Chains A and B, each alone.
Chain A
Amino acid sequence: MIGLARRRPARNEALERGIVSAAERRDRRTRLTLRVVQAATLIFLLVVGLGPILWMLKASVTPTQDTLRAPMALWPHGIDLGQLATAWSRTHIDRYLVNTVIIAIGSWAAQLVIATTAGYALSVLRPRLAGLVTGLVIATLFVPPIVLLVPLYLTIVDVPLVHARLIDNYWAIWLPAGASAVNVLLIKRFFDNLPREIFEAARVDGAGPFRLFWSIVLPMSRPILGVVSVFAVIATWKDYLWPLLVIRNPNLQPLSVRLPTLQPTTDLGVFIAALTLSSVFPIVLFLIFQRLFLRGAGLGGAIKG
Chain B
Amino acid sequence: MSSMAESVPLAQRARSRRARLHLTRDGLGTFVFLVPLLAVFGLFAWFPILRAVVMSVQETNLVSPPTFVGLDNFARVLADPQLEIAVRNTLWFTFLALVFGYPVPIVLAVVMSEVRKGRGLFSALAYLPVVVPPVVSVLLWRFFYDASTHGVFNSLLGTVGLGPLPWLQDPGTAMPSIVLESTWANAGATVIIYLAALVAVPPELYDAADVDGASIWQKIRHVTLPQLRGVLLVTLILQLIATAQVFTEPLLFTSGGPNNATLTLLLLIYRYAFQNSLGGEYGMAAALSLMLAAFLAVFTAIYYRLTRGWSTSS
Contact = CB atoms under 8 A, between A and B. Distances in A.
Interface in A138-172: 140-155, 157, 159-161
Contacts of B248: 240-241
A291 to B, nearest CB: 9
B286 A151 contact: yes
Interface of A is mostly: helix
Contacts of A282: 131-133
Interface in A1-48: 1-9, 11, 13-14, 16-21, 23-24, 30, 34, 37-38, 41-42, 44-46, 48
Interface string B35-55: 111101101111111011001
A72 B34 contact: no
A interface residue count range (under 10 / 10 to 19 / 20 to 34 / 35 or more): 35 or more
Given A41-B111, A155-B48, A275-B136, 13 more contacts: A2-B5, A49-B126, A55-B140, A141-B300, A152-B44, A159-B43, A192-B11, A193-B11, A223-B1, A260-B252, A290-B120, A298-B192, A301-B192
A124 B23 contact: yes
A140 B49 contact: yes
Contact of B216 (A30, A113, A154): A30
A19 B38 CA distance: 49
A90 interface: no
B48 A160 contact: no
B interface residue count range (under 10 / 10 to 19 / 20 to 34 / 35 or more): 35 or more
B216 A19 contact: yes
A128 to B, nearest CB: 6
Contacts of B36: 113-114, 117-118, 178
19 contacts: A5-B2, A45-B126, A52-B144, A127-B25, A141-B300, A149-B270, A154-B60, A178-B44, A190-B4, A193-B11, A193-B14, A238-B133, A240-B135, A263-B139, A271-B139, A272-B143, A279-B133, A298-B193, A305-B238
Interface stretch (B78-86, B161-169, B171-179, B218-226): B218-226
A144 B310 contact: no
Contacts of B24: 125, 208-209
Nearest to A4: B200
Could you say which of A24, A49, A110, A140 has the most chain B C-beta atoms within 10 Å of its C-beta?
A49
B300 A209 contact: no
B47 to A, nearest CB: 7
Given A8-B200, A21-B210, A196 B133 contact: no
Contacts of B65: none
A68 interface: yes
Contacts of A19: 110, 113-114, 206, 216, 219-220, 223-224
A4 B310 contact: yes
Could you say which of B31, B37, B203 has the most chain A C-beta atoms within 10 Å of its C-beta?
B37
Given A3-B310, A68-B150, A128-B26, A195 B41 contact: no
Given A17-B203, A41-B111, A299-B1, A245 B29 contact: no
A160 B21 contact: no
B110 to A, nearest CB: 7
A212 B33 CA distance: 12
Contact of B34 (A121, A150, A294): A121
